[in-house]
Amino acid sequence: MQSFPGQDAAPPLPSCVIADQNLSAKENEAIAELRRNVEAGPLYSLSTKRAGIATCSAKYETGVLTLEYNFRDKGWLRVKRDSRIEYNDQEVRFGSPLEEEPKAILKRAELAAFGKDGCGIDWEQFEKQPTPDDPQGVETIFRGDTCNCQARIRTDAAGRTIGLKFRSTC
């Protein structure tokens, strides 16, 4: 995992409750590897620095790994990975106001996922659409040309950034 300016060394891994204790060694290692990648990434680092982690849970169902972190400020981070279709989805919601420029955070997420060249997101081109679960919310969507990657900024009715999402399918 790549480190970025302003990103300190990751704190030790928190304990994480695994939903199914009867997983194979390979499945347990897949969860551990996903945790290492996520916990070294910008969305996790930002949230833990801001609020600290309250809980962590993991599950493995039919090839899909899911991690869920809850933070002390009522924010959360959910991660899904399906290696069969190279699907990765990270979504963070903030429990307290975001102080950093959201595009800068998402640019770091793009580099963490795809390396120094990223996935070709044009940060000047975007579309806006209502959020599916809140008619007053808006998502600003940036698209890349590699692996169908997307970065999304979610804002509330007052225009405050309340969440970020980065996902791709290769």
The answer to whether residues 46 and 6 touch, using CB atoms and an 8 Å cutoff, is no
- Could you tell me the two tokens for 167? 């996902």
Residue 99 corresponds to which tokens in the numbers above? 């102080």
Cα 78 from chain centroid (whole Å) = 7
Q: What is the pLDDT of residues 80-111, one digit of tens each?
A: 999 888 899 999 999 888 888 999 999 999 99
Residue the block writes with tokens 């959201």: 102
pLDDT tens digit sequence for 119-158 = 999 999 999 999 888 888 999 999 999 999 999 999 998 8
